[in-house]
Amino acid sequence: MELDESALGLLLGFLREERGLGLRELGQLAVVDHAYIYRLETGAKESPSEEVLSKLIRALKADKREALMLRFLAEHPATDAALVKLAIADKTVTYDVFAAAAGTAFRGAARPDYARIIELVRRIMDEENGTR
C-alpha cells in the first residue's frame, strides 16, 4: 500500500534538507529518534506530540511562519501536500493565508487551484484590513 504524500512530512523533509541535515543529525540535535523522524517525513506517522514538534522546530531553527505551519499540519494531517509545495515555493504566502487556504472546503473531484485560492484569500484579508 502506497502512502499519500504527507503535508507535514513534506515540510519537515524540506526544512531538514534546506538546513543541510541528515535524518541522524536532526535526530541527535532534536533528541528524537531518527527512525521516527523518517516515519513522519514519509507519512507513516502523523500528528507528533507537541513536545516532539517543539524539539524538531528548535533543532531546525524554523522561523515563526515555518513553526506555525508545522504545528498546523500536525493538527490537520489531511491538509493537501500541494498547498505546502506552493507555500514552500512562495515565501510571501503568510501563515494566515496558508491556514485560511487549507481550511477551504472543496466539492467535486477536481484538484483545487491553490494559487487561485491564495489570491482570493489575500484579496479578502486585504479588504478586511482596509488595504484595498
> What pTM did the predictor assign?
0.90
Q: Where are the domains of the chain?
A: 7-128
- Tell me the CATH class for 7-128: mainly alpha
> What does the block give as the cell for 14?
524540506
Show the low-confidence residues of the chain (pLDDT under 70). Answer: 1-4, 105-109, 131-132
Place of cell 531518527: 34
Dihedral of CA atoms 32, 34, 40, 46 in degrees, nearest 10, equals -40
Q: What is the pLDDT of residue 75?
A: 94
> What does the pLDDT look like over 56-87, one tens digit per residue?
999 999 999 999 999 999 999 999 999 999 99
